[in-house]
A = this chain, B = another copy of it.
């Protein structure tokens, strides 16, 4: 049972599981924004967190799960005194740090093309963006410091 296993591990984070469908994006980003406000961030910073979470979850749905609707995406929010941490777990195809290519906005604007902006927004709007594999799952971790 999800609840029991988490309680047993003594963790007390905020956790959310959604099906891998973009129709739930708005729920997730709304939640992320409120969580950021609870964490003590101001409205502008909270909006940035919510966009970064949108981008990360969208990538999981569209790239890691290739748009297949019947998988799960798990989010964990950790509230620490220093930061809000958003951990996004999935069992689809992962991305390694060395595959993360951030377009140069200057170069980008002179050569307009579709896509490739999500990772850039994530890295600009968060203080840290990490990708890793753990316990058979892939994780994208987004950290926003509380100033």
Chain A residues proximal to chain B, CB less than 8 Å: 1-7, 12-19, 23-24, 26-27, 30-31, 34-35, 38, 70-72, 74, 89, 91, 135-137
Contact = CB atoms under 8 A, between A and B. Distances in A.
A81 to B, nearest CB: 14
Contacts of A26: 34, 38
Contacts of A38: 23-24, 26-27
A89 B24 contact: no
B15 A16 contact: yes
Give the one of A19, A27, A34, A91 with max B CB within 10 A.
A27
A64 to B, nearest CB: 13
Copies of this chain: 2
**Interface class of chain A by DSSP:** mixed
Contacts of A3: 17, 72, 74, 89, 91, 137
Given A23-B38, A30-B34, A34-B27, A71 B15 contact: no
A13 B74 CA distance: 12
A88 to B, nearest CB: 11
A38 B89 CA distance: 23
A72 B1 contact: no
Contact of A135 (B1, B12, B89): B1
Contact of A137 (B1, B31, B34, B71): B1
